[in-house]
Amino acid sequence: MSDNNSDFYYHVPVMSDESITYLCCHPGKTYVDCTLGGGGHSSRILKAIAPDGKLIAIDQDLSAIENAQNSLNDKNCVLVHDNFKHIRQILNQSYVDAVDGILADLGLSLFHIRQSGRGFSFMSDEPLDMRMNTNDSLTARQLIHSLPEKKLAAIFRNYGEERFSNQIARAIVKERKYQSIETTQQLCAIIHKVIPHKIKARQKIHPATRVFMALRIAVNDELSGLQHFLDNVLSCLNPGGRLCIISFHSLEDRMVKQAMKQWESPCTCPKDLPVCLCQKEPSGKIIVRKGITPEHHEIQTNPMARSARMRVFEKRDF
C-alpha cells in the first residue's frame, strides 16, 4: 500500500520505484492500483501517466478512499470503494475493457497498525476487530468466541503457520468459558502463557505475530479473495500489459508464484511427449524469475519492507 504525508492515513509505500519501473508507466496509459492505502503508489503512478493517463484506485477500507479524496485530488484518478477481488466488475462499471498495468500490494498498512483502533496490532490494547472493511460483519472477536477448538487451531496453523496452534486454541476455549475475550492484550496474554519461555527467547518476532496474522486473514477472507483476483485478473490486462503483486508472507507469495507459472506454462501434456496435444498456449511471461525484493537501504528506513517480494507478469502481446 501507500504513503501519504497526512496524519489521517499514514503509510510508507514498499518498493515504489520498482513498482513504477516494472509497471512500465507511460503518459496516456490506464492503470489500476488495487490497494490504494495512503496513496503513495497511486500518486507516483499519476505523475508517471500525466497529463492524460487514467488511474483506477481501489480500496476496501473507506478511510483510505476518504483520505485520497483530499490527498490525491486528481481528475485522472477514479476512486473505488470495493475489494480488489472484484476487479473485473469494477472495470466493467467504469466502462473499461482492459488496462495497461495493475498493481496489488497485499501488505498491511501502518494506518491499520497504528491508527485504525481495530486490533490489527498487539502493541496496544484495542478491541478484537481486524476488519479491513468496517461494513463487513465478521470480527476477530466473533471468531475467537464462536469457533470450536479444532477450527480455531486450523486457522492458526493454516493461515499463520503457528506451531503451537492446538495449544493456543485450547487455551482460548478454556479462557472464554470464564470471561469474554474482548481485547488484543487479553489475547496476547493467553498466547504468552502457552508458548514455552525458551521458544519465546529464541524468536525474532512477537509471540502473537502468527496468531494475529491468521485471524486477520480469516476475518477478511484474504486468501480466497486473492485466488478470485488471480482467476480473473488476466482478462483485465491489455496485450503487453503488466501485473505487479507485492506479497509479505509465504502463503500469498506461493499462490502468486503458482498462478504466474501456470499462466506461463499451461501445457498439461506429459513431459516426454514430443509434441503438445493439449494446445494450451502461454498467456505471457514472468519478469524476473525469483521476484524482486527491496534494496538494503529501503529495509533500513522501512523495516516493514523486509519480507516483501514483488512478482511481475507480462501478458502476451498477441
Higher pLDDT, 114 or 8: 114
Beta bridge partners of residue 292, listed in sequence order: 310
Mean pLDDT of the chain: 92
The reported pLDDT for the residue numbered 197 is 87
Q: Three-state SS for 3?
A: coil
Determine the topology of domain 137-219 in CATH.
Answer: DNA polymerase; domain 1 (1.10.150)
The reported pLDDT for the residue numbered 138 is 97
The reported pLDDT for the residue numbered 5 is 37
**Phi and psi for 183 in degrees, rounded to 5?**
-125, 165
pLDDT digits (tens, 9 = 90+) for 167-200: 999 999 999 999 999 999 999 999 999 998 888 7
pLDDT digits (tens, 9 = 90+) for 111-149: 888 888 999 998 889 999 999 999 999 999 999 999 999
- Residue boundaries of the structural domains of the chain: 16-111+223-315, 137-219
The reported pLDDT for the residue numbered 8 is 61
Quickly state the pLDDT bin for 73 (edges 50, 70, 90): confident
Cα dihedral 197/200/202/204 (nearest 10): -170
Q: What is the pTM of this model?
A: 0.92
User: Cα–Cα distance between 302 and 298 in angstroms, integer?
Assistant: 6
Instruction: Give the range among 11-15, 64-68, 313-317 with minimum mean pLDDT.
Output: 11-15
**Phi and psi for 203 in degrees, rounded to 5?**
-70, 140
Determine the topology of domain 16-111+223-315 in CATH.
Answer: Rossmann fold (3.40.50)
Cα dihedral 78/239/18/250 (nearest 10): 90
Positive/negative CA dihedral, 231, 237, 242, 247? negative
The reported pLDDT for the residue numbered 18 is 95
The reported pLDDT for the residue numbered 142 is 98
Same fold, 16-111+223-315 and 137-219: no
User: Cα–Cα distance between 139 and 315 in angstroms, integer?
Assistant: 38
Q: In this model, does residue 44 exceed pLDDT 50?
A: yes
Give the amino acid at 256.
V
pLDDT digits (tens, 9 = 90+) for 199-249: 877 887 889 999 999 999 999 999 999 999 999 999 999 999 999 999 999
The reported pLDDT for the residue numbered 274 is 80
Query: In 10 A of CB 105, how many CB atoms?
Result: 28
